[in-house]
Amino acid sequence: MTTGLLVAFVFLLPVIVWVRRLYRVDKRSFNDAVPYLRRDNPERLEELLDHVLEASLLLNLGQRQFREEQLKRIRLAQEFIAQRAHNAAILQEWGSTEQERTRTTLDKDVRSAARALIDACIEYRISVLWIRALLCGHQESC
């Protein structure tokens, strides 16, 4: 079973990457990126992931009510995290455009800032996969 999943992953990953590359926007300037960014609410996400508040809910609610509330909180956290991952993808495209532009402008400061942005976005998007897997483990179905 695990081997089959691994083989499917190895063969499907290049196809997914190819399709995403085919349909992505090639050049995205700052003005092109801004309208696609989604609103972020870091305070609300932090509250949803607060283990002290969750422990308080466990003490004050019955087991069934707590589980229902916990699942609502997990789903909402997943939504906030998905919005952030979307923003990271948009910013990564903008960073790639700026990095590409430095090939003609030769601006080393912009190139280094664009590379830092791209690296941060990649790191965040990879981390999101792990976070989603952890949150998914706390649900019956994902």
Query: Could you give the C-alpha distances from 2 to 6, 8, 130, in angstroms and in order?
Result: 6, 10, 18
Whether residue 15 is contained in a domain is answered as: no
Whether residue 114 is contained in a domain is answered as: yes
For residue 17, pLDDT beyond 90: no
Which one is predicted more confidently, 140 or 82?
82
Query: Could you give the C-alpha distances from 3 to 9, 14, 129, in angstroms and in order?
Result: 10, 18, 21
Whether residue 86 is contained in a domain is answered as: yes
Q: What is the pTM of this model?
A: 0.72
Whether residue 72 is contained in a domain is answered as: yes
Whether residue 19 is contained in a domain is answered as: no
Give the total number of structural domains in the chain: 1
For residue 128, pLDDT beyond 60: yes
Burial class (CB in 10 A: 0-12, 13-18, 19+), 34: exposed
In which band, very low, low, confident or very high, does the pLDDT at 25 lie, cut at 50, 70 and 90? Answer: low
Range of the domain at 112: 28-136
Whether residue 121 is contained in a domain is answered as: yes
The sign of the dihedral angle between the CA atoms of 83, 84, 88, 90 is: positive
Q: Which alpha helices (DSSP H) does the chain contain, by range?
A: 2-23, 30-33, 42-48, 51-60, 63-105, 108-136
In which band, very low, low, confident or very high, does the pLDDT at 5 lie, cut at 50, 70 and 90? Answer: low
CA 49 to chain centre: 16
Whether residue 142 is contained in a domain is answered as: no
Q: For residues 24 and 134, what is the distance between their CA atoms, to the nearest angstrom? A: 28
Whether residue 132 is contained in a domain is answered as: yes
Q: What is the largest CA-CA distance in the chain?
A: 63
State pLDDT tens for residues 65-108: 988 998 899 899 999 999 999 999 999 999 999 998 888 888 89
